[in-house]
Amino acid sequence: MSLTGLKPPVKEALCPLMRRVADLDKKDAEAVIGYLADPLWTSSALATALTNEGFIISDTPIWRHRAKRCSCAR
Ligand SMILES: [Zn+2]
């Protein structure tokens, strides 16, 4: 057994959705984070709107992220 050299969790443990959001321009990333926080946007409506703009995503990762069932909530 060796307990030396252990690494803390990396912040790259983001879920697929947030990893892609992190790759966007700051302006776009902030907008998407705002939509995610807005209860008026249902997950499927948001997925459709983002996909129409070229950010192709399904509602499942959005739902998982909002429900905190994704890897970035751990
Ligand atoms: Zn997430």
Mean pLDDT of 36-46: 97
How many A from CA of 4 to the centre of ligand 1?
A: 30
Tell me the C-alpha distance between 70 and 57, whole Å.
15
The whole-number pLDDT of residue 39 equals 95
Query: Where are the domains positioned within the chain?
Result: 35-74
Q: How confident is the model at residue 12 (pLDDT cuts 50, 70, 90)?
A: low
State the chain's mean pLDDT as an integer: 90
Model confidence, pTM: 0.79
How many A from CA of 2 to the centre of ligand 1?
A: 32
Give percent of the chain above pLDDT 90. 70
Q: Is the pLDDT of residue 9 over 70?
A: no
How many A from CA of 63 to the centre of ligand 1?
A: 9
Mean pLDDT of 48-54: 97
Inter-residue contact 22 to 14 (CB < 8 Å): yes
Q: Is 18 left (phi over 0), alpha (psi -120 to 50) or beta?
A: alpha
